[in-house]
Amino acid sequence: MSVRRSSVLVGALALTLALTGCGSSKNEAEPAGKAEEKNKTRVFAADNGKITIPADPQRVVATGYAVPALIEADAPLVGISSWKRGEPMMSKEDLATYNKLPKVAGEQATETNYEAIAEADPDLIVIGVPAPVLGDIDVKRLEGIAPVVAIGPTVPSAWRDLSRKQSDAAGALEQFDTVQAAYEAKAAELAKKYKDALAPLKFGHVGSYGEAAKGTFQREFSGSWGTNIAEDIGATYYGKVKKPGPGSKGVSEYPSLEELPASLRDADAITYSVKADGSVPESVKYVMESELWKNLPAVKAGKTFPIRYTEAATYGQAVQTLEAIDAAFAPLLKQ
């Protein structure tokens, strides 16, 4: 507890004693029922075990993927980590909230500011980093400040369950459910709109994490960042990772550019990741400037589609992705 809050509590106690000595009524104090409500707890299943947390958190600190999810869910945040990668996907209102909240950690787990978190005086800390990265955080030190729940990403498409669990822990499911319903309604609308156009097509996807310097490109499969939202409206991505690993390595791979024909020659259509402003990242440009790309059947047929906001990790962000997919796929309705 911070020195500031301790002083406030001491002052409040003195005032209460003074009022009691003057014969104040019980109505002037907080009702017993309300005080009990604030002190209620529940056991929450997180990556770091079953944790006892406040049933109705009032002061929440969020890091990593929990940042955009809890801002969007209107959780009672008092501190967050920096999350620059998500800024282009935030709504104007959410970005304003993000900018004004105290930053108690940087982009990396190793940049956690324990003193700043203590000063924020949270009653709950939600850590949204992958399990392997959790080792970079001194969880025991954080537990000395407030209950800690770690709820980190696994495969990219798991953002749906991930963001729900984070919002649930923070007591912010009402707003979360509203935004989820809006996304699902939009996805259903587009699924109906593109049903006939998408049904016959086998898609491939080129992601933005290839490395031109190493001569590789990123091929994303079902359930990956660039594919999972398009799948919600009926797009089918064929194939699978040759040597799957944990997390995103189970749904994407990084072949050499020479393997491009073998990887994507059977695709009827190809989507590819672009930046939020629509520009093509260098890793994707490297692929598209190759003669191997230009000779792919899907490319020759004019069935290549740029997709913005492929890294959406909340339902609100994913609505923007749906809108971007709708704009990209529009030419299919004319064919």
Please tell me the predicted confidence (pLDDT) of residue 105. 97
DSSP per position, 140-161? HHHHTTS-EEE----SGGGHHH
Domains defined for the chain, CATH in brackets? 37-177 (3.40.50.1980), 194-334 (3.40.50.1980)
Amino acid identity, residue 115? E
Residues 6+ apart with CB under 8 A from 301: 268
Residues 6+ apart with CB under 8 A from 53: 41, 42, 43, 44, 124, 147, 149, 169
Please tell me the predicted confidence (pLDDT) of residue 313. 95
Can you state the percent helix, strand and coil of the chain, rounding each to 5? 50, 15, 35
SS3 readout for 174-201: HHHHHHHHHHHHHHHHHHHHHHHHHCCC
Q: Which pair of structure tokens corresponds to residue 119?
A: 């000063």
Please tell me the predicted confidence (pLDDT) of residue 229. 98
Length of the chain: 335
pLDDT along the chain (335 residues), means of 10: 40 38 43 64 97 98 98 98 95 97 96 97 96 92 98 95 98 98 98 98 97 97 98 98 93 98 98 97 97 98 98 97 98 89
Distance, in Å, from the CA atom of 255 to the CA atom of 276, rounded to the nearest integer, reads: 25
Q: Residues 44, 53: contact at Cβ < 8 Å?
A: yes
Cα 161 vs. chain centroid, distance in angstroms?
Answer: 10
Distance, in Å, from the CA atom of 312 to the CA atom of 232, rounded to the nearest integer, reads: 13
Q: Which pair of structure tokens corresponds to residue 198?
A: 């998408």
* Per-residue model confidence as pLDDT tens digits over 91-135: 999 999 999 999 999 999 999 999 999 999 999 999 999 988 899
DSSP per position, 96-125? HHHHHS-EEE-SSGGGB-HHHHHHH--SEE
Q: Residues 117, 102: contact at Cβ < 8 Å?
A: no
Q: Residues 151, 166: contact at Cβ < 8 Å?
A: yes
> What are the φ and ψ backbone dihedral angles of 79, each rounded to 5 degrees?
-175, 145
Residues 6+ apart with CB under 8 A from 24: none
H or E element at residue 316: helix 315-329
Cβ atoms < 10 Å from Cβ of 184? 14
Q: Which pair of structure tokens corresponds to residue 260?
A: 């491009």
Please tell me the predicted confidence (pLDDT) of residue 334. 87
Please tell me the predicted confidence (pLDDT) of residue 23. 40
Please tell me the predicted confidence (pLDDT) of residue 228. 98
